[in-house]
A and B are shown apart, each in its own frame.
Chain A
């Protein structure tokens, strides 16, 4: 029996972003444990402006994953399967993710530049 291959490009679960997050978390901690020099080297690169896409992208991916996860809990108990409610729930996760990302980076910008 030939298995029908699924198209991964249509799947919202992507392994890249969580892998980048794990690398960043472990790198940050090992640099912190190694000493001042390696920590400063890591932080200089991590906060260099052309790389801002990485922490900003990671935060958006995290907040989206978090709000989708909470929505998943609701669906797991069997609620929210009516078409209209279901679609509204999906849109809400995206609004929450973008709002929390903007709020977080707005706060960081205010702390840094104000």
Chain B
């Protein structure tokens, strides 16, 4: 074997193999944190097992979105898309896992460099959300015939800049508010949603009326389980779509199962594959999160970590619930309006992210504008966001065939700018779009 052949083998068969690659990244992180040998072995193995589990979940999710999207196009003659960050992540992890991993790592490095060199010292360290963003930015660029290194460079630099600026932006609406905290910031995908919510809440709200003074019925607490909420609401929505499409379309997918029964179970299956995917993600990032945390703490003194959604929930448990319900209502209304206006792209309700984004916006709305803001503002944001996602869909590159959109409020701004930026870069470099996407 010649040396180029050996290098090619290493590049394609070892680094090109996602399970091995993620195992190696875990190995690197664990060694960097000086873990014990037995912890390194279990950490690497768990990462690799996690990858295969999430793979199963990702394929399952995609197998449910396909018949639903086809049912919509057959009955309404329009393109139906499902907002689903985890399906976007699944697409990235199954189709372009190497680039996704590298975009994520490069983005982390870019974020660290920006935080080290400037006065804005916020760092996105929420491992799974970093990977979701990396998957989205990778897949958009993968819609053009770029070389893998070009995708990594474009995606990584932009994503790193995004991590840095979005964590800073969120902090501006957290500090100095006695109903929130200034000890950390959020590393999520909703900096725009938070900015709009905080500003709007000041206008429409009455801050003295705190949501936390409301007694919330304890019997509704089960809806705080986002996966159960997905099972309930997706069953209703998918059933309506499936029954409208009728047996001809559905029986193509249902196999031996009766088409009505199959339709009724789609929502429950969607929740099940989501649970499988999340279980895999948990194992995959188990070794990565300590590494991200340790590295940023050690390298950048006084850095403000960007943490996950639930870290804000204790500040307004009632507000989060109001936010979820009102954000979901806004999303459903957006779907109805798109159908009535005969929009060429119909965005289905997100449910899962209505829960997470909506709950978070409920907390921020209450902090800036009290009870009235918590009801009104997440609804407005929930209604407007799907229109931004609809705009992003036709320019989302390799995600187009999957009929999914990334359902963060930031997709409407940072994501959309990136989609057009990538298109522009492709035009300047003379890189053609990939056929079929």
Pair from one complex: no
